[in-house]
Amino acid sequence: MTIHREGYPSIAIATGAFILINLLSFVFISAHVPILAWLIFFLTLVLVLFIISFFRIPNRKLTINPSEIICPADGKVVVIEETEETEYFKDKRIQVSIFMSPANVHVNRNPISGDVKYSQYHEGKYLVAWHPKSSTENERHSVVLANDKTTILVKQIAGALARRIVNYLSVGQKVEQGTELGFIKFGSRVDVLLPLGTKVNVQIDQVVKGGVTVLATV
């Protein structure tokens, strides 16, 4: 397991706060209310460990197959439905949405190899990530990836806790399946918009792993 580079500033701040709070607790509280000092130590330690865990990148054998579309994120499948896509394709698509809780790995990966045809950030609201309108009203970043087999749209969507979406792709760039697409800090959601007729391999409420679980077959 390694730590994602996006986590270094947050981990540094959390560690500094942990040291400062517990130094103050030792000086002003421990002699008079030792139980409270130990409680502060325990709670702040748990917070630091949680933040470190949030930015983890576990060692995994990624799925690489040009005939398959791989899940871009860890989490639970919360939507599989036909929808009208209005941002890029402007036609009907199959939407598969993956909800990422704060406990999930939050690095996002490219579901296919191909060319980046579109990359656009949108400001927006911070509705809970499972809200039906979060796909179109929340802060989000959309990218379109295309190869000779398919063209898909991937949306990184901020949730109620997320306040920063990081996307590494730019138009004209060539990407490889399984490489990093971006990162979303804290609870969030990723939508994948597929062409009609694409065989979806996941089910509602299925727990999936980014870069590993086969989302669909081309």
Other C-beta atoms closer than 10 Å to the C-beta of 24 total 12
Domain that holds residue 43: 2-57
The residues assigned a catalytic role are 188
200 lies in a domain?
A: yes
User: What's the total number of domains in the chain?
Assistant: 2
pLDDT in tens, 4-43: 988 899 999 999 999 999 999 999 998 889 999 999 999 9
State whether 128 and 41 are in the same domain. no
Q: Report residue 132's pLDDT band, with 50, 70 and 90 as the boundaries.
A: low
pLDDT in tens, 154-192: 999 986 665 678 999 999 999 999 999 999 876 688 999
State whether 141 and 210 are in the same domain. yes
| Residue where one domain finishes, among candidates 11, 33, 57 | 57
Q: Give the pTM.
A: 0.87
State whether 33 and 84 are in the same domain. no
- What secondary structure does DSSP assign to 184-211, as a single string? E-SSEEEEEEE-TT-EE---TT-EE-TT
63 lies in a domain?
A: no
Which CATH number fits the domain that encloses residue 80?
A: 2.70.70
Q: What percent of the chain has pLDDT over 90?
A: 77
Q: How far apart are CA 70 and CA 163, in angstroms?
A: 26
Quick one: which of 183, 121, 196 has its CA closest to 152?
196
